Structure 1
Amino acid sequence: MWFAYFASILALATLANGFGQGAPQGACKDMTPGHGVPPQSTPAPYVITPSTKAVKAGTPMEVTISGKTASNTIRGLMLQARAGDKIVGTFKVDPNDPLAQPMKCDVQGDTVTHKLHDPKDDKQTVYFTWTPPADLNESIKFR
């Protein structure tokens, strides 16, 4: 009896593939979570807003992610700036932020992801500072 109970719990724990510590390195290229849940097919309930529409190479800017409604809180995230398929620039994240942390895909801080946190620390709006490379000449998109 105990063996069956233990084996069932172990099987369920093995199936739980969420990434509470942040996005895995394998998600860097295509930004798909890879935790057994298909990508969302409906419009995102969040908006990414840069502080300026004109990016000046080497000049930091603020990037805001907000839920469209108060109930659209952020629990997990992965944020990158892309020029085509290339990850560009770096993000600065407050080390005391209870929700987010910098991540290294190509270089340290080129991606922001969530970290293990208490659900009470989920937020409706988050802010990050992004610095484009000094030699940036392409258009970028935040994803």
Structure 2
Amino acid sequence: MRVLCVIGVALVAAACVEAYSSGAPTDSCVDMVPQHPVPPQKSAAPYVITTSTKTVKAGTPMEVVISGKGPSNTIRGLLLQARHGDKPVGTFTVAPNDNFAQLLNCGTPGNAVTHKKHDEKLDKQSVAFTWTPPAGFNDEIKFRATIAYNGAVFWVGVESAPVKVTN
């Protein structure tokens, strides 16, 4: 009986991890915690978020890159937002033929990026996206991400350096 319970728990956990392989659920938009059956890692993330500029004019696109610190630090899943405090701002652009990423609506269409369901061989060591701050916006933002190495190993709250958006 004990073996059956262990097998049952393992199958439920596997099903939960597989359930979000096609991208972050909108339930994760606020706290950015994926609905995985395990807690996030407490160690420092082996990933960095860099930007093409530290100052950008409102309405002007810029590039955001998430990279593993080493070749083995691949990205299986992610949820990325530009945040002003706790609020997602601006819009991302993802190529229609991108086999890794897709836009997510966290209150406004395109204000977040998440992964698509893909084969492990398509995991990335680095991903780049275009982000455009809203017209009329004049304040500081940070890019914030949840990055998954796999369904059981992920980091929540990885942040970029601040970016100043000017009007």
Q: TM-score under structure 2 normalisation?
A: 0.77
Tell me, in whole angstroms, the C-alpha distance in 2 between the residues paired with 1:95 and 1:88.
21
Q: 1:14 aligns with which of 5, 12, 15?
A: 12
Match of 1:92 in 2: 93
Tell me, in whole angstroms, the C-alpha distance in 2 between the residues paired with 1:83 and 1:41.
24
State the aligned residue count.
138
2:74 aligned with 1:76, yes or no?
no
Q: CA RMSD in A?
A: 1.7
Other structure's SS at 2:98 match = coil
Q: How does 1:46-125 map to 2 (within 5 A)?
A: 46-125=47-126
Cα distance, 1:82 vs structure 2: 0.2
Tell me, in whole angstroms, the C-alpha distance in 2 between the residues paired with 1:47 and 1:15.
29
Other structure's SS at 1:44 match = coil
Match of 2:156 in 1: none
Tell me, in whole angstroms, the C-alpha distance in 1 between the residues paired with 2:45 and 2:10.
29
Other structure's SS at 2:139 match = coil
| 2:118 alignment partner AA | H
- Which consecutive residues of structure 1, in runs of 5 or more, have no partner in the other structure? none
**Could you tell which deviates more after superposition, 8-17 or 20-29?**
8-17
List structure 1 segments (4+ residues) > 2 angstroms apart after TM superposition: 7-16
**Could you tell which deviates more after superposition, 10-19 or 126-135?**
10-19
Tell me, in whole angstroms, the C-alpha distance in 2 between the residues paired with 1:41 and 1:10.
27
Cα distance, 1:12 vs structure 2: 4.4
| 2:31 alignment partner AA | D
Q: TM-score under structure 1 normalisation?
A: 0.90
